[in-house]
Chains A and B, each alone.
Chain A
């Protein structure tokens, strides 16, 4: 299958001739399939917005090429790229009503009025903005303006939909519904979309695949499930997941036939070597100094196991978070049900071998996920 959008060797350097050039995007290769929703995820300054702006045409590529639907578009003016975009700052045209804003692009394409009205009404229903269609942007709340902005982008027919932080301002009680509806809308029509966000909840909810960026470099490009189960390095491992992955520095050694990870303050995690294939054991023991990662949902709170002392136990309605002093740092355990633990209580921490992620401390790269080599 040929990719809908293809970025090859894309670089973006700001102020290349100045004393401090900023290399915002470094050698980015990214292929988005037709009908796919891809999220560019990263914290501010990671290069995701520069990438988006290069695709939209607001920024020139310093080197590399971008093709959309078989055309090389990186030299085109934004208007010729056939890309629809929803802006983070919503940027509605102030003198037009919400309805006129949404219909704007279709009107300039000389579409029949009845069609335009039908399309606008459909999108308005989807985004719950039917009752504000005749209002002006200045009278809208942040959430309403953002929904109107989304509507203006989604209503168009384009090869690619670019959504820049599309849900940051949305009213919390609407978010879950709107995520579902927008995903349904995009999927049903087979649209191709790129979502730029710093909010992994949004990326996870909507995207088929997520491109995690940091420091201008693509760290990993994978499905949400893979990112969670098999993070390529320590950065993705700790960046993806809410609450974040528990991390422990450890010394790996072989002791009494067991594979032992010695943590700080004399805490040992011992595993039956059968849980790890020989090649993996060799790799881990060869490194010696490793970093262990375990997802909070996988941390089991038991009566036996490594000793820990609870310092916070918080019930949030649909889950319980337990935080405990452990191995000179802390460990967080998350449960889907309500678990009562008192502050100061001694608990045992058990981490199953299949939930253990091992990273090379020096390079940050993943060594293994569960019992499998990365």
Chain B
């Protein structure tokens, strides 16, 4: 009904606000926490009134974690850099491999093509612990353990199926006639892929890339097992805040804010693609 009474509009407003508060509150709380000292955080009852301080950020960026009793050195900025290297690297590799594969699966139905595509997706369902133990051993034997390349390789278990299935749905959505038309106009299949299929699937590729990035960024278990301290991303690095002398809530909060900032910024920047890509990929893929 396009007729809305004032009451309806008010109720809708309240409902929307409730939803926004529900989802945004934790983020807001974390941001507030990151601006407080441990003492103000832990006082009871909690209060929204405090004197903001940047000391947590200072500590994290400088790498000097000052606790109640001692000063601890952490490499949070190194972790952040690792996260960026790992996520960007694995998404780039997954796009390079996944997009052409998605195109092949979308356009060419060959014997077993469905099975192969499904097998790739099933990596997403398998519990990571299932593969971790053998992987650790194999990686140690072939010298890939504790290397960026090794981690990026393993991260393909997360990124590749995602990109493959979302982008494939997008390619399937492009009318084959449009591609036929380009080929009949005299262009090779590769030119058709580059000039027709790729640009038309761009929103899907962007959405899939973004999602893969977020998943890679948030990964914990692979990095925990396969990476040593100097290759650890933020998710694993955050463990360092739980120290013998207590939990540094303020600094944890600052670390969390710093580590979600890149993904949040990316998601906001590309939210149009993301919604489009997700709904389309979900329905079609």
Direct contact of A and B (CB under 8 A): yes
A interface residue numbers (CB < 8 A to B): 14-16, 60
Does B2 lie at the interface of the complex (its beta carbon under 8 Å from any beta carbon of A)?
yes
A98 to chain B, nearest CB (A): 30
B1 proximity list for chain A (CB < 8 A): 60
Segment 1-43 of B: residues with Cβ below 8 Å from A:
1-3
A14 proximity list for chain B (CB < 8 A): 2
Contact with A along B61-94 (1 / 0, CB 8 A): 0000000000000000000000000000000000
* Docked pose: A16 CA to B2 CA in angstroms: 8
A61 to chain B, nearest CB (A): 11
B interface residue numbers (CB < 8 A to A): 1-3
Across the A-B interface, the 5 shortest Cβ-Cβ residue pairs:
A14-B2, A15-B2, A60-B3, A60-B1, A16-B2
B2 proximity list for chain A (CB < 8 A): 14-16
A16 proximity list for chain B (CB < 8 A): 2
* Docked pose: A328 CA to B169 CA in angstroms: 52
B3 proximity list for chain A (CB < 8 A): 60
* Docked pose: A14 CA to B2 CA in angstroms: 7
5 interchain pairs (CB within 8 A)? Answer: A14-B2, A15-B2, A16-B2, A60-B1, A60-B3
**CB nearest neighbor in A for B1:** A60
* Docked pose: A60 CA to B1 CA in angstroms: 8
**CB nearest neighbor in B for A16:** B2
**CB nearest neighbor in A for B3:** A60
A15 proximity list for chain B (CB < 8 A): 2
A60 proximity list for chain B (CB < 8 A): 1, 3
A158 to chain B, nearest CB (A): 25
* Docked pose: A14 CA to B4 CA in angstroms: 12
* Docked pose: A16 CA to B1 CA in angstroms: 12
* Docked pose: A15 CA to B3 CA in angstroms: 8
B13 to chain A, nearest CB (A): 15
* Docked pose: A16 CA to B3 CA in angstroms: 9
* Docked pose: A16 CA to B4 CA in angstroms: 10
* Docked pose: A15 CA to B1 CA in angstroms: 10
B255 to chain A, nearest CB (A): 44
B195 to chain A, nearest CB (A): 33
B9 to chain A, nearest CB (A): 10
**CB nearest neighbor in B for A18:** B2
* Docked pose: A60 CA to B2 CA in angstroms: 9
**CB nearest neighbor in B for A17:** B4
B240 to chain A, nearest CB (A): 53
B260 to chain A, nearest CB (A): 35
**CB nearest neighbor in B for A59:** B2
B279 to chain A, nearest CB (A): 23
* Docked pose: A62 CA to B1 CA in angstroms: 12
A57 to chain B, nearest CB (A): 12
* Docked pose: A326 CA to B3 CA in angstroms: 54
* Docked pose: A60 CA to B5 CA in angstroms: 14
* Docked pose: A14 CA to B1 CA in angstroms: 10
* Docked pose: A113 CA to B3 CA in angstroms: 42
A299 to chain B, nearest CB (A): 39
* Docked pose: A363 CA to B233 CA in angstroms: 73
B123 to chain A, nearest CB (A): 36
A21 to chain B, nearest CB (A): 10
B3 to chain A, nearest CB (A): 6
A330 to chain B, nearest CB (A): 31
**CB nearest neighbor in A for B4:** A17
**CB nearest neighbor in A for B9:** A17
* Docked pose: A210 CA to B3 CA in angstroms: 31
* Docked pose: A14 CA to B3 CA in angstroms: 9
* Docked pose: A37 CA to B107 CA in angstroms: 50
A120 to chain B, nearest CB (A): 35
A78 to chain B, nearest CB (A): 13
**CB nearest neighbor in B for A15:** B2
A13 to chain B, nearest CB (A): 9
A10 to chain B, nearest CB (A): 16
A16 to chain B, nearest CB (A): 8
* Docked pose: A217 CA to B130 CA in angstroms: 69
B167 to chain A, nearest CB (A): 31
* Docked pose: A30 CA to B37 CA in angstroms: 75
B6 to chain A, nearest CB (A): 11
* Docked pose: A296 CA to B3 CA in angstroms: 48
* Docked pose: A294 CA to B234 CA in angstroms: 80
* Docked pose: A15 CA to B2 CA in angstroms: 6
**CB nearest neighbor in B for A13:** B2
B65 to chain A, nearest CB (A): 53
